Structure 1
Amino acid sequence: MQKTIHALESRFQRRVYRVRDIEKLGISQSTTYRRARADGPWTRLAPGVVLVAPGPPTLHDRIQAALLRAGPGAVVTGLVAAHLHGIAAPPDEVEVHVLIPHSRKVQSYAGTRFERTTRLPRPVYVNGVPTAPPVRAVMDGARTFRTWAFTQRLLRDAIRKAAECTLIALITEMEAGSRRGTAVPRAILRTFRNGTPPLHDRPARPPRPATEASRAAA
């Protein structure tokens, strides 16, 4: 078993595994969870998912954990996906936002949010990560209740850096998706359309505490 543990820890590219997959290699679940305790050499990232190294996890580790937890067909969206597309640098402690099929229910956990949707986009792979196309990623990020200035900068950067993110494309995506959280980006896009983007900061409405296992999108 020690040889198997050493082999897992020595792999260069993969560091995140489901507990049940580790069990198939001959390491019991009890051993894995013991090693993933706060004082252990591994790190628990999500229910049933561990990092076979001491923390803290990288953003890539957190993305991999979220995708393993979400299951097949999941797509990373929002600020993390926008960052992977080269559009924006995510803020500190950014939430990993993952879209899943509407028929699936996955419990969100600290730092990671799963959103059920009937509009699951075809993924664009960036460094092996299935991400939402730039327009969808940006609009999902824009409706996360951040400040006016942050949202304005995100939308400006998208239009400037990503050819797909035209003003019309962003407005079309906003109208096609969930209306939750669109008040601020809607107002900002209206100023862009009028040619007079505001220069002052304005706080967005703070987010409501998450109480649902996962959120449904239209």
Structure 2
Amino acid sequence: MDRSSTYTDVKNNLTTLNQKLREQLTKDHYFRAAAALGMIDANGSIVFDREDAAAALTELAVHEPVSADEAFRSEASSTLKLTPSEKKALDAYKDSYTSLFRISSLSVGQGTAVLQDLLHRDQPEITVMDLRLSRFLTEGLLLFTRIITVDGLTVTAGPDFMFPSNIDQFLLHRGKKIAKKSSHADSGVRNFAAFNELHKTDGIRIVYKS
């Protein structure tokens, strides 16, 4: 199977897996995620203040420790009718992570993007296969996203929080301050909440058109 076909299969499996995982979420899962994102109003209701807020809430609820612990994954694996490929993707999510990246270079022909991790500068640049990034975005843009490797192929997953190329130092400084205000024990949850908040005020909205 060529890389393009593998990419299509991986993305399709991630999509169907996430649809099934959402079926496992309870009201408590959503409210824990909403609390981490500051989305609960004075009346105790979850408030969606922008178009992609629901996607951010679901991503946090499904894949970060507010609910996505080993018990959650184990229950999902045993109760949901997952295909072998979906089970492999579920296992891969254990090693997935989010961070703020700079798009160092793009290759339309290869459908790849080279990303520099700005939160972990000691890490080498990574090459991800992402047809949307390579075709529709520009080098230098900043991107907060999830990285996951399935079947030897590294791709992005979940919502993309895009930012202008020239505000990296501002984002790192403000993101650190916002994350420190969170009482959540997990740094991944704190960072996700911080960059979700920054995307509301300083992000750019990307519309992918075929």
Superposed pair shares fold, TM > 0.5: no
Larger radius of gyration: 1
Quickly name the TM-score band, shorter chain normalised: under 0.3
